[in-house]
Amino acid sequence: MQDKDNSIFNRKRVSVKDIVIMKQKLEKISVLTAYDYSTASICDRAGVDILLVGDSAGMVMLGYPTTNQVNMEEMLTFCSGVSRGVKRAMIIADMPFGSYQISTSEAIANAIKFIKVGCHAVKLEGGIEIIDTVKAIVKTGIPVMGHIGLKPQTTILSEGYRLQGKTKISGLKLIEDAKALEEAGVFSIVLEMVTSEVADIICKNISIPTIGIGSGSSCDGQVLVLHDMLGIYEDIKPKFVKRYAEVSKSIFEAVSVYISDVKSSKFPDEENIFHTSPAELEQIRKTLKEKKI
Is residue 111 close enough to count as binding ligand KIV by CB under 6 A?
A: no
Tell me whether strands 221-224 and 210-213 are parallel, antiparallel or unpaired: parallel
Smallest distance from ligand KIV to CB 59, Å: 9
Q: Three-class SS of residue 121?
A: strand
Q: How many whole angstroms separate alpha carbon 216 and alpha carbon 191? A: 10
Is residue 213 close enough to count as binding ligand KIV by CB under 6 A?
A: yes
- What b/e readout covers 259-277, taking b as 16+ CB neighbours within 10 angstroms? eeeeeeeeeeeeeeeeeee
CB of 245 or CB of 281, closer to ligand KIV = 245
Q: Three-class SS of residue 92?
A: strand
Among 225, 229, 230, 232, binds ligand KIV (CB under 6 A): 225
192 given a catalytic annotation: yes
Is residue 56 close enough to count as binding ligand KIV by CB under 6 A?
A: yes
Q: Which residues make Cβ contacts (< 8 Å) with residue 14, sequence separation at least 6?
A: 49, 50, 88, 89, 90
Instruction: Please compute, for residue 83, the number of CA atoms within 13 A of its CA located in the half-sphere on the CB side.
Output: 17
Residues within window 118-157 making contact with ligand KIV, judged by CB under 6 A: none
CB of 9 or CB of 240, closer to ligand KIV = 240
Among 40, 76, 181, 190, binds ligand KIV (CB under 6 A): 190
Is residue 164 close enough to count as binding ligand KIV by CB under 6 A?
A: no
Is residue 92 close enough to count as binding ligand KIV by CB under 6 A?
A: no
Binding site for ligand KIV (CB under 6 A): 33, 54-56, 67, 94, 190, 192, 213, 223, 225
Q: List residues with catalytic annotation.
A: 192
